[in-house]
């Protein structure tokens, strides 16, 4: 009975020992795999963190701007029409038939140049008539003077009375007056003959021809219209509330349709003291030099009167300004320095909201590059990559500052 029990116990121990050994081996392998997996996860997290830390943001040219140094102006928007400073309608001074028109619309003319010739037959005959009248008056004067001399001798010899002598003397005075009148009439006739040739009153361009050859004209009848385009007046309407800010001499920059790429300049010459009827605007007259004749009368202009302007200083786009709560809420910009983003505090001066630019009095210099849009993940310390040409420029600029 004891032998059978001992034999059975031995057999149980023999199959339990391999099972225990297998369990111990399994537990050891599982522990090793757990520790290995834990170490692997830690390495992966470390690598991912390092990779995230070294992430480089590639910028496009729309993401940043280069600071430039120039004047910044604050302007009052204005619009209006350009009008020639000198313009005139040339009229006839005499009644005559148009014999010849010498210029056409659009032709330049010089002061004193003939533009119309009128028929001179009647005018020349009038000159001849007045010349004859003058000669007749002179002859009567000569006769009256000789009579007076004779009467003077007779008066001394008491052959005539004093009354008769005075009558003869008055005839001399009447003859002298007649000579003066005839001379004046002759002068008028000669001027009328000269006026038959109509001349330009100033240098300009013919804008209208109002008569044709063969037409009969009367005194004060319009013949031609001339304009001088060397000086124009920009008549701009300004709200009455803005007039206190406008002063004579202020600079004006404006554009005209058809010259999209060109800026024209002028200056405030004078201000109308009364507002336009039915409106609350006042007319400001702006002088515009037009030496090349590019501008024409009647063109519509749109621009601004410079109310304030800065010195030549660095300018930064308003979109680049940020409020990061540093330095008591002072504005900052994200400056790109050697491929890194730096939060740069700046002090601002004049701002032009219409142009979207602000003057920087300190904190930036011309040539610096700043981020002008908000980019997710880009913050101070981030690494950024510029387009190749801009990166080369920034490196050259940095080398120049170090040198």
Q: Which two tokens stand for residue 89?
A: 């309608």
- Say if residue 130 is exposed, middle or buried (CB neighbours under 10 Å; 0-12, 13-18, 19+): buried
Query: How many Å apart are CA 374 and CA 353, to the nearest integer?
Result: 19
> In this structure, what DSSP letter does residue 196 have?
T
Quick check: 260 pLDDT over 70? yes
Residue in this structure with the two tokens 């001088």, named with its chain if needed: 228
Quick check: 174 pLDDT over 90? no
Q: Report, at the CATH architecture level, how domain 120-194 is classified.
A: Orthogonal Bundle (1.10)
Q: Checking DSSP bridges between strand 56-58 and strand 383-385, what pairing results, if any?
A: parallel
Confidence category of residue 188, pLDDT binned at 50, 70, 90: very high
* Helix residue ranges, H only, 54-120: none
Looking at residue 206, its pLDDT comes to 94
Supply the angle between the helices 162-195 and 121-156 in degrees, to the nearest 10. Answer: 160
Is 120-194 the same fold as 58-72+312-402?
no
- Say if residue 154 is exposed, middle or buried (CB neighbours under 10 Å; 0-12, 13-18, 19+): middle
Looking at residue 170, its pLDDT comes to 77
Burial 202-219 (b: 16+ CB within 10 A, else e): ebbbbbebbbeeeeebee
Looking at residue 99, its pLDDT comes to 93
88-145: per-residue pLDDT in tens? Answer: 999 999 999 999 999 999 999 999 999 999 999 999 999 999 999 999 888 888 887 7
For residues 63 and 80, the answer to whether their CB atoms sit within 8 Å is no
Residue in this structure with the two tokens 């659009």, named with its chain if needed: 106
Query: How many Å apart are CA 235 and CA 82, to the nearest integer?
Result: 6
Domain ranges of the chain: 58-72+312-402, 120-194
Looking at residue 277, its pLDDT comes to 77
Looking at residue 218, its pLDDT comes to 93
Q: Which of 20-24, 43-47, 155-159 has the highest mean pLDDT?
A: 155-159
Query: How many Å apart are CA 285 and CA 266, to the nearest integer?
Result: 10
> In this structure, what DSSP letter does residue 60 have?
P
Name which CATH class applies to 58-72+312-402. Answer: mainly beta
Q: Taking the chain, what is the end-to-end CA distance rounded to the nearest angstrom?
A: 107
């Amino acid at each position: 009975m004891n032998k059978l029990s001992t034999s059975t116990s031995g057999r149980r121990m023999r199959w339990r020992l391999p099972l225990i050994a297998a369990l111990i081996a399994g537990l050891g392998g599982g522990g090793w795999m757990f520790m290995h997996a834990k170490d692997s996860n830690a390495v992966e997290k470390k690598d991912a963190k390092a990779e995230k830390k070294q992430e480089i943001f590639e910028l496009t040219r729309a993401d940043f701007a280069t600071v430039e140094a120039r004047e910044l102006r604050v302007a009052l928007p204005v619009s209006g029409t350009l009008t020639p400073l000198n313009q005139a309608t040339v009229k006839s001074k005499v009644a005559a038939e148009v014999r010849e028109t010498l210029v056409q619309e659009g032709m330049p003319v010089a002061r004193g140049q003939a533009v119309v010739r009128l028929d001179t037959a009647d005018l020349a005959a009038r000159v001849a008539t007045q010349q004859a009248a003058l000669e007749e008056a002179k002859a009567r004067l000569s006769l009256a003077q000789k009579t007076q001399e004779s009467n003077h001798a007779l008066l001394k010899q008491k052959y005539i009375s004093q009354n008769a002598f005075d009558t003869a003397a008055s005839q001399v005075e009447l003859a002298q007056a007649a000579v003066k009148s005839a001379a004046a009439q002759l002068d008028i006739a000669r001027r009328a003959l000269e006026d038959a040739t109509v001349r330009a009153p100033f240098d300009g361009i013919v804008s209208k021809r109002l008569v044709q050859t063969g037409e009969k004209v009367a005194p004060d009848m319009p013949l031609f219209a001339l304009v001088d385009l060397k000086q124009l007046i920009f008549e701009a309407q300004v709200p009455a509330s803005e007039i206190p800010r406008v002063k004579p001499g202020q600079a004006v920059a404006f554009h005209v349709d058809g010259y999209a790429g060109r800026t024209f300049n002028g200056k405030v010459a004078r201000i109308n003291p009364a507002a336009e009827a039915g409106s609350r605007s006042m007319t400001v007259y702006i002088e515009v030099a037009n030496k090349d004749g590019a501008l024409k009368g009647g063109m519509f202009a749109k621009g601004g009167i410079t109310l304030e302007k800065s010195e030549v200083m660095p300018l930064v786009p308003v979109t680049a300004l940020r409020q990061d709560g540093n330095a008591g809420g002072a504005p900052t910009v994200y400056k790109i320095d050697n491929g890194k983003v730096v939060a740069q505090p700046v002090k601002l001066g004049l701002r032009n909201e219409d142009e979207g630019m602000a003057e920087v009095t300190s904190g930036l210099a011309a040539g610096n590059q700043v981020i002008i849009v908000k980019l997710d993940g880009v913050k101070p310390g981030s690494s950024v990559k510029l387009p190749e040409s801009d990166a080369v420029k920034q490196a050259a600029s940095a080398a120049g500052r170090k040198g």
